[in-house]
Amino acid sequence: MAISVFDLFKVGIGPSSSHTVGPMIAARRFLQELPCPLNQINRVTVDLFGSLAMTGEGHGTDTAVLLGLAGKAPATVAVDEIEPLLSAIRSNQQLSLLGEQVVAFEQDRDLLFNKGASLPQHPNGMTCRAFDAAGTALFSKSYFSIGGGFVLAEDEFANAENSGFDAPYDFQSAKELLAMGKRDGLRIEQMAMANELSQKSEQEVIDGVYEIWKVMDACIQRGCSTRGTLPGSLGVKRRAAELNDDLQDRLENGVPDALAVMDWVSLFALAVNEENAAGGKVVTAPTNGAAGVIPAVLAYFVKFVYTPDMGGLKKLVVQFLLTSAAIGMLFKRNASISAAEVGCQGEIGVACSMAAAGLTSVMGGTNEQVENAAEIGMEHNLGLTCDPIGGLVQIPCIERNTMGAIKAINASRLALRGDGVHHVSLDSVIETMFQTGKDMQAKYKETAEGGLAINAVNVVEC
């Protein structure tokens, strides 16, 4: 079963796809799946477990749950309406379920962070319950935010591998993907497009994928012009706007700098992830925590590499994202894109691999060179931990996106200078990443109990 590019790249809000987007989807879905009329519900409770409990407050999980219960969806919620809605819920201690049924809701009583407790299926678990006026439980169900905004209910785990849609190129591995391309004389983006055509028209796919880039680019532009301090206890200053001013000034005054393009790439990544940290609109790519890598590398191509003789820009942007998505699907299928499950190698590492593949494709690389670039991108992110200070998607997350973007460009350039033949396959690296994640101690997997997070006092004081 294939995974759609539109499932891998989803429009949502920050700061986290697994801790914000997923729980919002799950809370809303719980009410939509009620086996009884909504007007019979008098009270709703939500229990958070595992990483959702440990870092949920810093990741906006409480906000996400309230929004989901109120009927809001990540892709369509208006960012400027969020704070007034939350303020009304908390001050009135009332919540309108799906915007229809008003119930009493006391956050400290009805939304519990069960720190230190986990559900067996996945580290990002939550259990929702609905009660009638007599206090009788009418419905209870657990959901799991498995990374990138993907959500599974407790009864869906056994069949998770069969989720998706039937497609002509249902590749299970990079080896299969390369073999299919060789057999049919197709490039990776062409096979990805053929899969999407089983559900949509070609124009719908082209326009939809290009719209993803437009959302990414708009996020870069907002980040480059917005100043101030990010929300949360760390008081992190936004840097993208100031860096943008400096780079524009140096460009206009012809200040020579052989490495200036690196600063531009870092700027694009900073801009996106500062927006994400502020709760703005971003695209999961493949997650929110790693949302800046792919847009930064694609922006680098658009602004510094592309020339009209390469073909239509829209076509190349779509090619980049379809190729990236094909690689991302391999990680989603055979490993994980959840930092709570495998550490940040599953977020920044996967994003780096996807971006390297996309860039290699639009630079004219063969399928084998694309696979090589993706392999290099992940190979040098193996073991990357997730240890956010204060449970916030800020330090080291924002800067880490700049590192991932630069590394992706380097991986692409190395692959393009080769012939696609290499010793370690992408499949081997994906398997190694998954095994490394399993071996990684829980304190390094989005619990804020180890690494930089546990040394936050020392880091802040330096």
Inter-residue contact 142 to 48 (CB < 8 Å): no
Question: Is the pLDDT score of 304 beyond 60?
Answer: yes
Q: Does 459 score more than 50 pLDDT?
A: no
Cα separation, 415 vs 184, in Å, equals: 23
Question: Average per-residue pLDDT in the chain?
Answer: 95
- Check: CB of residue 445 under 8 Å from CB of residue 349: no
pLDDT of 385 reads: 97
Half-sphere exposure of 43 (CA within 13 A, CB side): 16
Span 154-189, pLDDT tens digits: 999 777 666 678 899 999 999 999 999 999 999 999
**Is residue 152 predicted with pLDDT exceeding 80?**
yes
Question: Could you tell me if 240 and 230 are in contact, meaning their C-beta atoms sit under 8 angstroms apart?
Answer: no
CB-based contacts of 339, cutoff 8 Å, min separation 6 = 18, 147, 287, 289, 346, 347, 386, 445, 446
pLDDT of residue 161: 63
3.40.50.2300, 3.40.50.970, 3.30.1330.90, 3.90.1150.10: which CATH number matches 13-161?
3.30.1330.90
Residue-wise pLDDT tens digits, 404-418: 999 999 999 999 999
According to the model, what pLDDT value does residue 455 have? 78
Query: In the chain, what are the domain boundaries?
Result: 13-161, 168-444
pLDDT at 311 over 70: yes
The predicted-structure confidence for 115-138, as pLDDT tens digits, reads as follows 999 999 999 999 999 999 999 999
> What mean pLDDT do residues 276-292 have?
96
pLDDT at site 460? 44
Q: Per-residue pLDDT averaged across 390-394, rounded? A: 93
For the chain, counts of helices (H) and of strands (E) = 19, 9
How confident is the model at residue 456, as a pLDDT?
Answer: 60
Averaged pLDDT, 61-88: 95
Q: Give 215's pLDDT tier (boundaries 50, 70, 90).
A: very high
DSSP state of 180: H
Q: What is the pLDDT of residues 52-73, one digit of tens each?
A: 999 998 899 999 999 999 999 9
Calpha distance 24→83 (Å, rounded) = 15
How much is the average pLDDT of 300-320? Answer: 97
Q: How far apart are the first and last CA of the chain?
A: 50
| pTM score | 0.93
Euclidean distance between CA atoms 69 and 25, whole angstroms = 9
Q: What's the pLDDT tens digit per position in 14-41?
A: 999 999 999 999 999 999 999 999 999 9
